[in-house]
Amino acid sequence: GAVVSQHPSWVICKSGTSVKIECRSLDFQATTMFWYRQFPKQSLMLMATSNEGSKATYEQGVEKDKFLINHASLTLSTLTVTSAHPEDSSFYICSAPGQGAIYGYTFGSGTRLTVV
């Protein structure tokens, strides 16, 4: 089945630094990737949609300059949290429409970001 590999699974960084999260579609081509953020005991909130070869579209209230998204190839989408602050600490998850399944979505395993 379709697999999305997400790395790193966890990361701790200092305030003010940037962190890059990668999501790779291993056995299919993902022209679209959705990025979510999840705070403890809350639901997944859609942050943005990345599209291969074009600019990402961001949900209302999500800072484009802070959460940089790149989708340079059909198998790789990245989310960079720039100038991270403690309030950015969260669980970040990517998702792609799965290959061969008209309606299926495949999720990455998530990245736990802790900013200290």
Partner 1 sequence: GESVGLHLPTLSVQEGDNSIINCAYSNSASDYFIWYKQESGKGPQFIIDIRSNMDKRQGQRVTVLLNKTVKHLSLQIAATQPGDSAVYFCAERGGYQKVTFGIGTKLQVIP
* Contact between residue 115 and residue 84 where contact means Cβ atoms under 8 Å apart: yes
Residue 73 as a binder of partner 1 (CB under 8 A): the answer is no
* Contact between residue 93 and residue 39 where contact means Cβ atoms under 8 Å apart: no
Least Å from the CB of residue 96 to partner 1: 10
Q: Which stretch binds partner 1 (CB under 8 A): 12-20, 44-52, 62-70, 78-86?
A: 44-52
* Contact between residue 76 and residue 96 where contact means Cβ atoms under 8 Å apart: no
Residue 95 as a binder of partner 1 (CB under 8 A): the answer is yes
Residue 103 as a binder of partner 1 (CB under 8 A): the answer is yes
Q: Write out the two tokens for 69.
A: 């998204």
User: Closest Cα to residue 26, out of 93, 106, 111?
Assistant: 106
Total residues at interface with partner 1 (CB under 8 A): 25
Q: Which residue has the tokens 């809350």?
A: 42
Q: Which stretch binds partner 1 (CB under 8 A): 14-22, 63-71, 73-81, 91-99?
A: 91-99
User: Closest Cα to residue 91, out of 48, 41, 54, 56?
Assistant: 41
* Pick 16 or 39: Cβ nearer partner 1: 39
> What residues line the site for partner 1 (CB under 8 A)?
6, 32, 34, 36, 39, 41-46, 49, 57, 91, 93, 95, 97, 103-105, 107-110, 112
